[in-house]
Amino acid sequence: MDTSAPVPSAKGKRYPAPVDRGELNRSMVSLLLSVTTLVATCCELALLSDDREVVARNIHRAKKSYATALRRAGRLSFSVEDVRAFESRTIRLESLISKLEQRHKVQSSGDGFTGASRVQEVRSDFRPWDS
């Protein structure tokens, strides 16, 4: 039987096919794992940015996404492998959020970053034609 086709009722109305709860749960777990990976990747990219607004915005979005992921995870059934994957990804995400917050505090205090801005300083001082 095709479960994707609408099911006709006795009065001729069509209703959506019944939902396989197990498949829905597996899809939601997969989505949750993908979202946590994506948020962690966005945090890593934010660590490369010297723009205060970008860093602040990414901290806010990462925290919001992390809180949503934790809320949604409480409603799902995880396999043992999925629990391990989710825990490792959330630990990584917590670490990245913490790094972003520390970096934001350093940057907002006026100390600056030692990353990309330092590379630009070195590049601007390098003048091979002067030798």
Residue 32, pLDDT above cutoff 90: yes
pLDDT, tens only, 6-23: 555 556 666 666 778 888
91 vs 85: CA distance, rounded Å: 10
Question: Would you kindly state where each structural domain of the chain is located, as residue ranges?
Answer: 8-130
93 vs 39: CA distance, rounded Å: 7
Averaged over 42-61, what is the pLDDT? 87
Q: Judge contact between 50 and 117, C-beta under 8 A.
A: yes
Q: Which of 85, 100, 80 is nearest to 31 (CA)?
A: 85
Q: Which of 128, 127, 106 is nearest to 117 (CA)?
A: 106
User: pLDDT value at position 103?
Assistant: 79
